[in-house]
Structure 1
């Protein structure tokens, strides 16, 4: 028997390592796969697109905010993986009637290391989890050396349109912006504030406007529209998965960030 506490402070008791996993978090589905747990994954969301083949091999049980409770119940999972930001409290409470619901909360890279170590404990794959954390720690150290030479730029990171919304403080996106020497002009406006384009110059006058590919897929016309309200900002499209997906995705994010900075030099 094993007692483990998730990132919201809920303690769960496991008689044995869970063998039937439902994951309601796309980035954590990818992590479970990378930890060698593909055979144990039985249910995923329609947004779990990495690795691509999982959607045809596993039962899709809804999205991250709307789930098919009965489908999940019929799968008889031993554990359901959720995330505080991706899934609602109502979903977690409802699913807790089926089996333990492990909830992660990732705001920092340190939280990410903790989640991977926790998965190693839960699923009895400590060696694989440690390997991933070692790889990530090495890549993080390498990137910090690289970024030292890059000057800090003021940035706005857009995630939504109608209304326009940006990533603010106390978010994993903000953590990665800081790591990249991007000073978030909306860091003091809450977690995901709605903003008015016409006030952007007054509220920070960014050097960079980053338009994410998800959750809203920004297009050229959006870049043009937003650009009308900036003074001198360079507007660039960025891969939202690299800035917002935690877990093993972070390893792919570091080389992506280096390429991004090389693009910005030109």
Structure 2
């Protein structure tokens, strides 16, 4: 008779308790009831976030196709067939893969979901738009793919790391901060996922809650608020705006442009939230002791008041700043396209008026708007 160590037995019981029971029915962000008769073995992801999440929870082997912009983890994504992007999909390629589950964005602008459903495919549409939804979507993907145990491990690790980072600034005075999403300027309100991270990092967002999650603001508001720290732009850019040269953050040099890696984590609500929080803590409270570092975060620990502030940046920093701008555009467009967004009518024109061509938006965000899109808003 075989015997099991109590720890191993508990682990087995825990894993079996977290196993998905099929048939399974869930409701996606478009209100569709999605039913899976069995755990999917052939998944197509049409945007990067679910691709990264599936690999993180151990479900990467079930992917047979991914979007053009899914590039992480590189060694694995390079082997998978690319099926276009969420807004310029290769539907024929998706159908040829015979997927038993397709993961799409909740935006209806490309009509991708309805086209795939009309072809008889099972489609789940939904992405995280808020801080809490990051955790919800990881759980949902674990449920859909029969990797609930992997999702639970990831969530536990994320929460542990987020709590550890948060503890490093516990009791520290709140630092007034302005976070710039786009130089129009658009910013992040307190209830946005960036706003939630700013609060956890020991910051006090100077943007009033009533303005919304990602509002376009008047530059005079920042003059009135006079934040101690600015994030998302350079000191040189800030100093050129009317009335900003005399602001506390600009005069003291506490204006920070995140690196491309940091901005990628800050711009997309997904499993790399700890990377985003760590960056914000370094900007707001450089005195905090940050011993933890996310796996794969190869950036050296540094004083945030260095070249990242925008003064005399070397060529590499300029390239990172350019990439950061593209990532900020991604956040802006993704926010605009979310059916839950209040930004739609204002943010999309800002992308075009800011010099974004359809091709540059496609490279940044994974989709290319149709002619006249900026004026029609035909979703």
SS at match of 2:153: helix
TM-score normalised over the length of structure 2: 0.59
For the residue of structure 2 that corresponds to 1:246, the secondary structure is: coil
Deviations 1:107-129 (A, max 9, x none): 44432222222222111112111
Please point out which of 135, 148, 164 is paired with 2:185.
164
Taking a change above 3 Å as real, the CA distance of residues 59 and 2 of structure 1, as seen in their structure-2 partners, is: same
- Find the aligned partners of 1:64 and 1:184 in 2 and give their Cα distance: 33
User: Which whole-Å deviations, capped at 9, do the CAs of 1:116-146 have from their partners, x for residues lacking one?
Assistant: 2222211111211111122122223222322
- Segment of structure 1 superposing worse, 2-11 or 219-228: 219-228
1:232 to 232, 248, 269: 248
TM superposition shift of 1:194:
2.8
Question: Which residue is equivalent to 2:205?
Answer: 184
Counterpart for residue 7 of structure 2 = none
Distance 1:60 1:224 in 2: 43
Answer yes or no: is the 8 Å Cα contact 1:21–1:77 preserved in 2.
yes
Alignment counterpart, residue 31 of structure 1, candidates 34, 53, 58: 53
* Contact 1:61-1:67 at 8 Å conserved across structures: yes
Partner in structure 1 of residue 273 of structure 2 = 250
Report the Cα offset of residue 251 of structure 1.
4.1
Query: What TM-score do the two structures reach when normalised by structure 1?
Result: 0.80
Give 1:92 shift: 3.1
3-state DSSP of counterpart to 1:127: helix
Q: Give distance in 2, aligned partners of 1:77 and 1:25.
A: 15
Report which stretch shifted further, 16-25 or 56-65: 56-65
1:56 aligns with 2:78: yes
RMSD: 3.0
Q: Which residue of 2 aligns with 1:200?
A: 222
Question: Does 2:33 correspond to 1:11?
Answer: yes
Per-residue deviation at 1:17? Answer: 0.9
Mapped to 2, the partners of 1:219 and 1:250 lie a distance apart of 23
Number of equivalenced pairs: 257
Distance 1:228 1:45 in 2: 44
Shift of 1:64: 4.1
Q: Deviations over 1:132-183 (max 9, x none)?
A: 122122223222322213322222222224x332233543222222222333
Counterpart CA distance in 2 for 1:31 and 1:250 is 12
Equivalent position SS for 1:200: helix
Answer 1 or 2: which has greater helix percent: 2
* Match in the other structure for 2:135: 113
Question: 1-side partners of 2:217 and 2:86: how far apart?
Answer: 25
Among 126, 144, 153, the residue aligned to 1:122: 144
